[in-house]
Structure 1
Amino acid sequence: MQVNNNLQPIFLDNHVLVLDKPAGLLTQDSGSGQKNLEDLAKAWLKQHFQRPGAVFLHAVHRIDRAACGLVLFARTSKALSRLNASLRAGQQQKVYRVRVEGKPALNEARLEDYLVHGRFRAKQAEAGQDRARLASLSYKLLANDSGQSLLEVHLETGRYHQIRAQLAAMGHPILGDRKYGSKHQWPGNGIALQHYQLGFLHPVRQEMVYVQSRMLI
């Protein structure tokens, strides 16, 4: 995906914007001044609607710089408040797709681990260890070929680097994820982790909206 002022919205109305983020691009400004999806989207909205002045836009969630896929933005402060509330209430449904090294022993399983948020990565820990938090997810095998597997992942908790850390701990790191033990490269200096599907409660219409990434991994 070429990131420029020709962004292709997955969903757009007066309250919400959903975009596909390519691997290697920050979701929001980190203070480093590097290119990020939120600023690119603001510039696109300003140009597309020919509006003077500042554009309000704020990401409701972030995905790792190395990952790709769906990012949900609020276009008004009221929408942001309501979307944040629905996120806290567990009303947003997220489905991920990943390509991992090898083939898991089980085609479907639920994983539970305790993780500690380190400086640059999540580390496995024991229950009761200082700062250790329970992380749980479920996965389903979609395909296996040439020593690689495509998995669908559903998060039950939202810990730092959770999918990356838990799959690596299982012995199946995500392709391209050198930080967690992968020996493979992935295009664009990214990893084969995609936020594939998203369901969210619309902040005004109060009905569920379902969207799907157009990217392929």
Structure 2
Amino acid sequence: MPSGQMHTSGIPSMAILYEDNHLLGIEKPVNVPTQEDASGDPDLLSLLKEDIKIRYQKPGNVYLGLVHRLDRPVGGAMIFAKTSKAASRLSDAVRTRRFEKSYVAIVRGKPPAQRGRLTDTLLKDERTNTVAVVPKGTPGGKDAVLDYRVLGTSAEEGLSLVQIKLHTGRSHQIRVQLSSLGCPLYGDQKYGAGVNKPGEQIALWSLYVGFPHPVSKEPVDLVSFPPRAYPWNLWDEGIYARVAEDCKSGTEEWL
């Protein structure tokens, strides 16, 4: 069950959203890589393993399975597996679409419809770590599908709050597809450099992760609200709470 805060050296403390013998759900801090990368900066997976080792006084190596990823600048709900059996069953839930992920984002401008589905082919350039929308059939291209719905707009700021449900898990998918739609994410320097200023924090947050527990099969719901800072605070926190409740009950209206 949830058990407060986790303190790790070098990064802000993390809220523990859920924990038992099989799972660890946390609120990922922004600007921390999910796993070790070329930057050499402290990464979430290593930090969590070290925390478990200390908190439970475990000798030797600690197992922690990475089930899904969030881009480095993105914060919010994440689940990790504390046993290989839990990792295998959660991976199966991802494959069979029983693993729900829902995000909120703030974009420049306003999408052309209140709700819709984006279907694109994405191609990743490993050399530059960038992704582009390419014609269907392009060698190496992968199908990318997401649903979005507009939750609110701020005409004065020229921003819109949207909820996103992923059907595929491609690298930089939300950022690339919404930029291609003409609505780059607030603060995204990679896919919205023409409209965003250096230093702005990307406004993409993992609000909800839901799945059947790998052992008990009971539903597990992780919820994390974005910080009460600009531009998130342009909208009342109640809107994020309503979205979370919709996610839990499956009552969102998408299309």
What TM-score do the two structures reach when normalised by structure 1?
Answer: 0.91
Q: Which residue is 1:21 aligned to?
A: 28
Structure 2 gaps of 5+ residues are 233-255
Alignment identity in percent? 38
Report the alpha carbon displacement of residue 23 of structure 1 after superposing the two structures with TM.
1.6
CA separation in 2, counterparts of 1:202 and 1:2? Answer: 22
Cα RMSD of the aligned pairs, angstroms, is 2.1
Q: Which residue is 1:196 aligned to?
A: 207
Q: Which residue is 1:136 aligned to?
A: 145
CA separation in 2, counterparts of 1:2 and 1:56? Answer: 18
Q: Which residue is 1:158 aligned to?
A: 169
After the TM superposition, which residues 49-60 of structure 1 pair with which residues of structure 2 at under 5 Å, given as runs? Answer: 49-60=56-67
Q: Are residues 1:86 and 2:93 paired?
A: yes
CA separation in 1, counterparts of 2:189 and 2:198? Answer: 10
Q: Are residues 1:184 and 2:191 paired?
A: no
Q: Which residue is 2:242 aligned to?
A: none
Distance 1:69 1:83, change over 3 A: same
Letter in 2 for 1:169: S
Report the alpha carbon displacement of residue 170 of structure 1 after superposing the two structures with TM.
0.6
Native 8 Å contact 2:145 2:167 kept in 1:
yes
Report the alpha carbon displacement of residue 190 of structure 1 after superposing the two structures with TM.
3.9
Q: Deviations over 1:126-177 (max 9, x none)?
A: 1122222221111111111111111000112222211111100011100111
Q: Which residue is 1:121 aligned to?
A: 130
Report the alpha carbon displacement of residue 32 of structure 1 after superposing the two structures with TM.
5.2
Q: Deviations over 1:35-65 (max 9, x none)?
A: 0111111222222223333221122111111
Report the alpha carbon displacement of residue 185 of structure 1 after superposing the two structures with TM.
4.2
Q: Which residue is 1:40 aligned to?
A: 47
Distance 1:107 1:184, change over 3 A: same
Q: Which residue is 1:4 aligned to?
A: 8
What TM-score do the two structures reach when normalised by structure 2?
Answer: 0.78
Of residues 1-10 and 172-181 in structure 1, the stretch that sits farther from structure 2 once superposed is 1-10
Native 8 Å contact 2:115 2:149 kept in 1:
yes
Letter in 2 for 1:133: K
Report the alpha carbon displacement of residue 79 of structure 1 after superposing the two structures with TM.
1.1
Structure 1 gaps of 5+ residues are none
Native 8 Å contact 2:32 2:43 kept in 1:
yes
Paired residues, number: 216
CA separation in 1, counterparts of 2:37 and 2:69? Answer: 12
CA separation in 2, counterparts of 1:194 and 1:185? Answer: 19
Distance 1:214 1:79, change over 3 A: same
CA separation in 2, counterparts of 1:107 and 1:3? Answer: 40
